[in-house]
Amino acid sequence: MNMKCAILINEKMYGFVFDQDTLTELGSLTEIAWEAVPVMDEAKAIRLIDKADIVVTSWESPRLEGALLAAAPGLKLIAHAAGSVKPVISEEIVSRKIQVTTAAPAIGIGVAEYCLGAILMMGKRLKEQMSAVESGGWRSEKSGSAVEIYGVVAGIVGAGFVGRHLIKLLQNFELKEIRVYDPYLSEDEAGRLGVRQATLEEIFSQCDYISINAPDIPATRGMVNRELIRSIKDNAVFINTSRGAIVDEAALTEELATGRFTALLDVTDPEPPAEDHPLRRMPNVILTPHMAGVLNRNGRRVGRYAFNEINNFIHGRPLIYPVALDQLDRLA
């Protein structure tokens, strides 16, 4: 008899996360319980989760706790078809030792690709060049300040899913070195990744490209302070696709106003920034609306990641992306 798989995802997210091929394959492995509802509230979720072995969650799913979790005493696996598991995970899941897996790596791929695009284009002083053309001119006077992705040093802050995929992408280029700051990255793991461990001070004062890919947790908020920002090299490229709260935004705005370096900021604090915020108008800043991880048609990749983990679990294979529930304080 197939295991029961309860999909606690509302109608909108269901179509965003799953394609028909994935659902057909999931249906061949499990007994699927799902209901097309605009909001997946606790009452509806309790009906679906009753006696389930596996649960699939995503954005806008209810938190798994209390009466909802009690309705599935035999629950063995939670496959989260989204990024952070924190909105759905409770202490009860930890105490019951239910396995949890995440599709965050699927989103991380897109964010890393966005970072790579920012590195390639911002090094060319993209916004300033475009402004020169749009105003009837040709090359910007900043053309001579362009930074080629050759023989330079890239600095990555955070070696999670995004940071690791960005490292992999950058290794296709002839960089001098890739440096990484991550307090949880061991020396052996850094060696396997082919990077050099560095302090934040070294990253900011010595790297030509700086990419913030750290999680937004209490330990990282305000981590990129005024002193670090002031130490950024002239003509460097600063990229933040993580969270605005990690950076002292006032200090960053002040330093960018000097024109010494360029920045692509996909996140601010708060979001959106005020309509008259200086970052919106600076010639050396490209500001995007928190879109690095936006999936659109590729959203179904997260559903595929969830299915693959369910498939591994049912066939007794190790999970590829398990969530270490004892390390939630490190995760975004």
Q: What is the pLDDT of residues 34-64, one digit of tens each?
A: 999 999 999 999 999 999 999 999 999 999 9
Which pair of tokens denotes residue 240?
């933040």
Backbone φ/ψ region at 290: left (φ over 0), alpha (ψ -120 to 50), beta = left
Closest CA to 86 of 65, 111, 63: 63
What is the arithmetic mean of pLDDT over 277-306? 88
- C-alpha distances in Å from residue 109, one per residue of 78, 98, 113, 310: 22, 27, 6, 21
More confident residue, 111 or 330: 111
pTM of the model: 0.88
- Model confidence at 181: pLDDT above 60: yes
- Please give the pLDDT value at position 291: 92
pLDDT-based confidence at residue 148 (cuts at 50, 70, 90): confident
- Model confidence at 142: pLDDT above 80: no
- Please give the pLDDT value at position 297: 60
- Please give the pLDDT value at position 129: 87
- Please give the pLDDT value at position 199: 98
- Please give the pLDDT value at position 287: 96
As a whole-number percent, the residues of the chain with pLDDT over 90 amount to: 82
- Please give the pLDDT value at position 323: 93
| Structural domain 3-102+296-330, CATH architecture | 3-Layer(aba) Sandwich (3.40)
Element (H, E) at 184: none
- Model confidence at 331: pLDDT above 90: no
pLDDT-based confidence at residue 300 (cuts at 50, 70, 90): confident
- Model confidence at 140: pLDDT above 80: no
Q: Give the 3-state secondary structure of residue 197.
A: strand
More confident residue, 332 or 92: 92
| Domain boundaries along the sequence of the chain | 3-102+296-330, 107-287
- Model confidence at 305: pLDDT above 70: yes
| Structural domain 107-287, CATH architecture | 3-Layer(aba) Sandwich (3.40)
In tens, the pLDDT along 225-253 reads 999 999 999 999 999 999 999 999 999 99
In tens, the pLDDT along 193-229 reads 999 999 999 999 999 999 999 999 999 999 999 999 9
- Please give the pLDDT value at position 332: 67
Closest CA to 125 of 290, 292, 282: 282
pLDDT-based confidence at residue 296 (cuts at 50, 70, 90): low
- 58 neighbors 83 (Cβ within 8 angstroms): no
List strand residue ranges (DSSP E) for the chain, in order. Answer: 3-7, 30-33, 54-57, 77-80, 99-102, 153-157, 177-181, 196-197, 209-212, 237-240, 262-265, 285-287
- Model confidence at 299: pLDDT above 70: no
Q: How many CB atoms lie within 10 A of CB 178?
A: 22
Same fold for the domain at 3-102+296-330 and the one at 107-287?
yes
